[in-house]
Chains A and B, each alone.
Chain A
Amino acid sequence: MLNVKNMNVYYGNIYAIKDVSFDVNEGEIVTLIGSNGAGKSTILKTISGLLRSKTGSIAFLGETIENSASHAIVKRGLAHVPEGRRVFLQMSVQENLEMGHYTQPRITMNERIEDVYERFPRLKERYKQRAGTLSGGEQQMLAMGRALMSRPKLLMLDEPSMGLAPLLVDQIFEIIKELASLGVTILLVEQNAQMALSLANRGYVLETGKITLTDSAKNLLENDAVRRAYLGG
């Protein structure tokens, strides 16, 4: 479904992503794990068209997207929940959802908003409130709900558990599992490797811009090097 080949990304002189290739197949949950500054967010931003790779290609559903504008990529069914949630703090919860529907025909909007409210009842209770008044967990739900408004075929999540209490992390991962069971393909970026690997089918380990290891999630959980580096022994 998503095929990344030979991605090389620079920030000026900083060589951030070094010849990264990987695939996500339809129906999978794939996780990209790596520590601080490994380049996880950079990869997602490049897929979304916010950054450009110097070389290689990115294909989504068999069509190349490496030269497409971000808004065109979203329209094809690839949604990206960015790191730090990035909800529109000055806008209401409902307006945030409306923005998520921007690429879609207007007639489906209310129905989809209701769907999101059904999945995240907390958001319905607060539909008129400014997103800036929500708690971290609620903002994460809003960020995910907003991305779901475009009915994505592939959902990319950048550290959805960041800064959340353990109970909320469980809740968010539960929702990710549910989305996957509904047929949404998921590319999950996490520092919380334990949680991510327990959910995913496959994983890639990223170190300073390079993929150093790839295997089934189960094998990665048992891999000694991975355990030492990311699972606390």
Chain B
Amino acid sequence: MLILDQLINALQLGSIYALVALGYSMVYGIIKLLNFAHGDVIMVGGYIAIFSLAAGHHPALAFFLIVFGCTLLAVVMEKLAYTPLRTAPRISVLITAIGISILLQNLAQFFFEARPLPLHIPLPTGSINIAGTTLAYTMIITIMASVLSMLALNFVVSRTRLGKAMRAVSEDGEAAQLMGINVNNVVTFTFAVGAALAGIGAILYFVRFPVVTPTVGAMLGLKAFIAAVLGGIGSIPGAMFGGFAIGILEVLVTAAGFSRWTDGAVFLVLIIVLLVRPTGLMGRKIVEKV
């Protein structure tokens, strides 16, 4: 069945976008920063994967190192570059984010050259047959891993102390401080969680597109950013929804025979959302403080 086939395909792609979009959205929700270096964290995850697997690590260790490396990178980035700018105008922070993105890409080019490196993520190969549709294990694993990650995130945000503090800071940073919440810690935690999700997203992305280049994170990051905007930047369910929506859109466009236009279609979504509903589908109204 072709439709089911395409649907699963779209879910696989969409869940990767959703995982990456979550980091964008959560960080925006908490410090109103579009962290344009977020996509490049995935690229770094790709190189970590190559080295770890080449060193003969067990896949489980490799996966851990990827997620851990991405998280560590984001935390260091936040501490070194963003914390000192906590009270700086937003535009300075945005420019810094773009600067870090370019820096990471250039460092990768310097150390690993621009040449694409193949990356084979060791997941069980093979497939099962359901109702006439062949489902590769990798697809099923991808979708399940994303759903589990999102359930875990939901638990953290709705049940844990730090998760609740995250929602408090994102709604009203000043009031959160008056509660005794150390906003700096919460911001760091948010970067860490977002990057861990991106790390998982990186593994799943390279399962599907097994090549690493210094700029591999840029396009993925951009699309995840669009997914976050579509869902309403700052909103966690919005980022999940937006990710899946973009995945479905790309698969639809490809299935319709316009595979060269998938990127164009995604950018068209950004333009339409910004024109028609800049707060996104699930975003709250942004009240600019005077």
Residues of A within 8 A of B (CB): 48-50, 69-71, 74-75, 79-80, 82, 86-91, 95, 98-100, 102-103, 106, 146-147, 150
Contacts and interface: CB of A to CB of B under 8 A. Distances in A.
A23 B60 CA distance: 61
Interface in B163-186: 164-165, 167-168, 171-172, 174-183
Contacts of A80: 178
Interface of B: 161, 164-165, 167-168, 171-172, 174-183
A88 B178 contact: no
Given A86-B172, A88-B172, A71 B167 contact: no
B182 A88 contact: no
A102 B172 CA distance: 15
A70 B177 contact: yes
Contact of A91 (B168, B177, B183): B168
Contact of A102 (B171, B174, B179): B179
Given A95-B164, A99-B165, 6 more contacts: A50-B177, A50-B178, A74-B179, A90-B171, A102-B161, A150-B180
Nearest to B177: A70
Given A95-B164, A99-B165, A48 B178 contact: yes
A100 B179 contact: yes
Given A82-B174, A82-B175, A103 B168 contact: no
B162 to A, nearest CB: 10
Given A82-B175, A88-B172, A91-B171, A74 B180 contact: yes
Contacts of B181: 71, 99, 102
A-B complex: 7 closest residue pairs judged by Cβ atoms: A103-B180, A74-B180, A70-B177, A86-B175, A99-B179, A102-B180, A71-B180
Contacts of A99: 164-165, 168, 176, 179, 181
A88 B165 contact: no
Contact of A88 (B168, B177, B180): B168
B182 to A, nearest CB: 5
Contacts of B174: 50, 82, 86
**B contacts with A: majority SS:** helix
A48 B165 CA distance: 19
A134 to B, nearest CB: 15
A192 to B, nearest CB: 22
Nearest to B167: A91
Contacts of A82: 174-175, 178
Contacts of A95: 164, 167
Nearest to A156: B178
A130 B219 CA distance: 38
B88 to A, nearest CB: 15
A99 B169 CA distance: 10
Contacts of A106: 161
Contacts of A147: 178
B218 to A, nearest CB: 33
A188 B164 CA distance: 29
Contacts of B164: 91, 95, 98-99
A154 to B, nearest CB: 13
A153 to B, nearest CB: 14
Contacts of B175: 82, 86-88
A71 B182 contact: yes
7 contacts: A48-B178, A86-B174, A90-B167, A91-B164, A99-B181, A150-B179, A150-B180
A233 B161 CA distance: 51
A109 to B, nearest CB: 10
Nearest to A74: B180
A80 B177 CA distance: 10
Contacts of A48: 177-178
